[in-house]
Amino acid sequence: MEVLNERLFSQHEADLLFEIILNRRDVRGNRFSDRLIEEEKISQILLAAVNAPSVGFSQPWEFVLVKSKEIKEQIKNTFNEENEKAAALFKDEKQREYNRLKLEGIFEAPLNIAIFYSDVDKPVLGQTSMMEVGLYSVVCAIQNMWLMARALNIGMGWVSIIDPEKVKRILKAPENKKLVGYFCLGYTDGFLKQPELELLKWEKRKGMSEMIFNDTY
């Protein structure tokens, strides 16, 4: 049986992947349109997710697709509570700037997806010294989704300013599930050319030399 994959990519295809990576953006409620995402595109985004690498091929990811207005309302309530606490951590002008930011698109996005890590009750190959690698596997799936969505011109935004235990209760998640992230997906009126937080001068992009070291730090 031939198991080697003979598919090689051209420079053009590699450039295309790089372009998708560079053009991916976090999309928030100020940019979502209410156009519904076609079912086959949702399936493609989820298929991209489950083809991510995972420790010991454990595939520890689970997805709750949320379209219900009532559920979105409950999620938005926990966002509002947590966001108020978050604003209090910043002071003066930074707090005023924080309060002007739109940091979620729960209502505006036609589709919300809560992504969970599902813990198993047996040893997982590779997840024996660094237990958090199960969670990292879920984040690999999330990045695949983000890139696939962008390739389909669908916006996706991460909402982390929520109480994970409240979200678990709202979504009736069993005890052994851990919320990794809550996402808003939908078509957008446009992707920004740079991260919004960079455009608003909240943060600067780091230079490569600040982040890359040879042999030792």
Query: Residues in the site for ligand FMN, rule: CB under 6 A?
Result: 25-26, 28, 103-104, 157-161, 195, 197
Residue 136: which residues within 8 A CB-CB, separation 6 or more?
A: 55
∠ CA(82), CA(83), CA(88), 5° rounding? Answer: 100
Nearer to ligand FMN, 47 or 197 (CB): 197
CB of 140 to ligand FMN, least distance (A): 12
For residues 28 and 72, which CB has a smaller minimum distance to ligand FMN in the complex?
28
Q: Which residue of the chain is nearest ligand FMN when measured via CB?
A: 195
Work out how close the CB of 59 gets to ligand FMN at its nearest, in angstroms, rounded to a whole number: 20
Q: How far is the CB of 214 from ligand FMN (least distance, A)?
A: 27
Q: Between 56 and 171, whose beta carbon lies closer to ligand FMN?
A: 171
Min CB(205)–ligand FMN separation in Å: 9
Q: How far apart are CA 127 and CA 32, in angstroms?
A: 38
- Least CB distance to ligand FMN at residue 84 (A): 14
- Residue (19 or 38) nearer to ligand FMN, CB: 19
Q: CA torsion sign, 18 to 19 to 24 to 25?
A: positive
Residue 63 exposure: Cα atoms within 13 Å on the Cβ side: 21
Residue 46 or residue 106: which is nearer to ligand FMN going by CB?
106
Task: Please return the burial class of 56, using the count of CB atoms within 10 Å of its CB with bins 0-12, 13-18 and 19+.
Answer: middle
- Count Cβ atoms below 10 Å from residue 101 Cβ, excluding itself: 15
